[in-house]
Amino acid sequence: MENRNLTLGSLFDGSGGFPLGGVLAGITPVWSSEIEPFPILVTHRRMPSVKHYGDVSALNGADLEPVDIITFGSPC
């Protein structure tokens, strides 16, 4: 069996608190969904490899890379 990191997607991401917690726990953040420009910049600066998908109401789950964990911070 191959060891691999768990992966994480974050809805209503804010400034990336759940992805940051994931990094600290050895989990790899893959994508996030947030609409506010400043929090997106914060997350992009902290974790430049995370893909940003914008408005959660416009997401199609079939278009997102599968992840092991989905977090969400709603209501904002």
Report the pLDDT value the prediction gives residue 4, as an integer from 0 to 100. Answer: 78
Domain ranges of the chain: 7-72
Q: Write out residues in the chain with pLDDT < 70, as ranges.
A: 1-3, 76
| pLDDT digits 0-9 by tens, 8-17 | 999 999 999 9
Report the pLDDT value the prediction gives residue 74, as an integer from 0 to 100. Answer: 82
Report the pLDDT value the prediction gives residue 75, as an integer from 0 to 100. Answer: 74
pTM value? 0.89
SS (H, E, C) the chain: CCCCCCEEEEECCCCCHHHHHHHHCCCEEEEECCCCHHHHHHHHHHCCCCEECCCHHHCCHHHCCCCCEEEECCCC
Q: Fold for domain 7-72?
A: Rossmann fold (3.40.50)
